[in-house]
Amino acid sequence: MKATFDDIKARESRHVLQTYRRQPVAFVRGSGARLYDTEGREYLDFISGIGVTSLGHAHPGLTAAIADQAATLLHTSNLYYHPFQAEAAARLTQLSGLSRTFFCNSGTEAVEACLKFARRYWYTQGATERTEFVALTGSFAGRTLGSLSVTHDEHYRAPFAPLLPGVTFVDPGSPAALVAAVTERTAAIIAEPIQGEGGIRPLTPECAAAINDACARTGALYIADEVQTGLGRTGIPFYFQALDLRPDLISVGKALGGGVPIGAALVSERVSQMISAGDHGSTYGGNLLGTRAAAFFLAQLMEHGLIEHVKAMGLHLERRLRTLALKYPAITEVRGAGLMRGIQLGSDAMPIVDAAREGGLLVNRTDEKVVRLLPPLTIEATEIDGALEILDAVFAKVSQEVQV
Ligand SMILES: *Cc1c(COP(=O)(O)O)cnc(C)c1O
């Protein structure tokens, strides 16, 4: 007998630690940009598991690669070699210009690795006082104690204090404050080129220039947290490229495995030289299943025109969102790049998210008043049009209710 939504919800509420506020729907199947719930209802998926299912659901090529790997060899650990780490790493170098890759299993772990490698870079050179980090207000870098230490949101931080000492947060709107905060004790500056959880807020060119200046003046490293923005999401390989930033370390995750958990820290040559065997590690990191999936995804991105597709679909989505914003005063701004977009509202975004889901469209709320759109990179124009029709109906209904 198939479990109903009510069964699933009741069992979870008894047995699963209640750290999430879930929406009232359970999915059992997906295909491309579509998801199907326990009742067989179809939804357009414009959040892709928070930017993860980059090739859409049940992509035939990715499915075949995973199935073949599962039937061949899943995991051997980092005690031994296998072919897929080098294959995925070579592609990441080609895409980023950074020379080496450390594989882990999530975005948080990728950030954690970057923080450790930044400290190790200075320690190896005897600069043991260079342990501090500068991060931005509104940043999100993950939930482990290290990555949480460079995450700004006080709600996430307060219950787990004390966190890493020596972290300074500066307002990205104040480049002068950033320059002043970076000193000869700073190991690295960490910043997302577009703040994702913080409300889809791209860094300004002035802020990017301040990061470059501060690094040039003090020698501090720059860590680009591209877990959400990286790997084609914005219509270019990495968003640091659009801002002319020069990272020494890049964290990636989310899209990399197309749904198979994997993250990576990309490391510049000068930082790589300061890292020794035993400095960092992971039992699962770079396992055959994850790196095979990543190699498949990266091949799609780099050799099958996916980045160009994202760029074209991103422009289409932007045009449609701008038209929507002109029609509804409830929308105060639309932001983002490529297929990473935010709709800024003047009030809580949750009623819009709920009404969209009831209308068959999945989006999510971030930073309270922002509706976030992260469709699969394979999204088609007709699907964007379908999603915008649903959003139009949702905003029409909400606007009417406000007037009454
Ligand atoms: C999602 C995200 C993370 C954390 O990734 P997890 O896979 O949830 O550990 C870190 N940084 C940024 C910018 C993110 O968007």
| 140 given a catalytic annotation | yes
- pTM as predicted: 0.98
155-164 b/e with 16+ CB inside 10 Å = b? Answer: eeeeeeeeee
Ordered per-residue pLDDT tens for the chain, 404 residues = 678 999 999 999 999 999 999 999 999 999 999 999 999 999 999 999 999 999 999 999 999 999 999 999 999 999 999 999 999 999 999 999 999 999 999 999 999 999 999 999 999 999 999 999 999 999 999 999 999 999 999 999 999 999 999 999 999 999 999 999 999 999 999 999 999 999 999 999 999 999 999 999 999 999 999 999 999 999 999 999 999 999 999 999 999 999 999 999 999 999 999 999 999 999 999 999 999 999 999 999 999 999 999 999 999 999 999 999 999 999 999 999 999 999 999 999 999 999 999 999 999 999 999 999 999 999 999 999 999 999 999 999 988 886 65
Say what the pLDDT of residue 401 is: 80
* Candidates 46, 133, 254, 395; catalytic one: 254
| 348 given a catalytic annotation | no
User: Residue 34 burial by CB count (10 A; 0-12/13-18/19+): exposed, middle or buried?
Assistant: middle
Say what the pLDDT of residue 370 is: 98
Domains of the chain: 5-58+306-401 (3.90.1150.10), 73-303 (3.40.640.10)
Verify whether ligand 1 is closer than 6 Å to residue 107 (CB atom).
yes
Terminal Cα distance for the chain, rounded: 46
Distance from residue 251's CA to the centre of ligand 1 (Å) = 9
| 169 given a catalytic annotation | no
Asked whether the beta carbons of 364 and 20 are under 8 A apart, the reply is no
Q: Which residues contact 252 (CB under 8 A, 6 or more apart)?
A: 92, 107, 110, 226, 227, 230, 231, 263, 264, 265, 266
Verify whether ligand 1 is closer than 6 Å to residue 110 (CB atom).
no
* Candidates 46, 103, 140, 296; catalytic one: 140
Distance from residue 141's CA to the centre of ligand 1 (Å) = 6
Q: Which residues contact 342 (CB under 8 A, 6 or more apart)?
A: 199, 200, 201, 334, 335, 336, 366, 370, 371, 372, 373
Distance from residue 135's CA to the centre of ligand 1 (Å) = 15
Structure tokens at 165: 């000492």
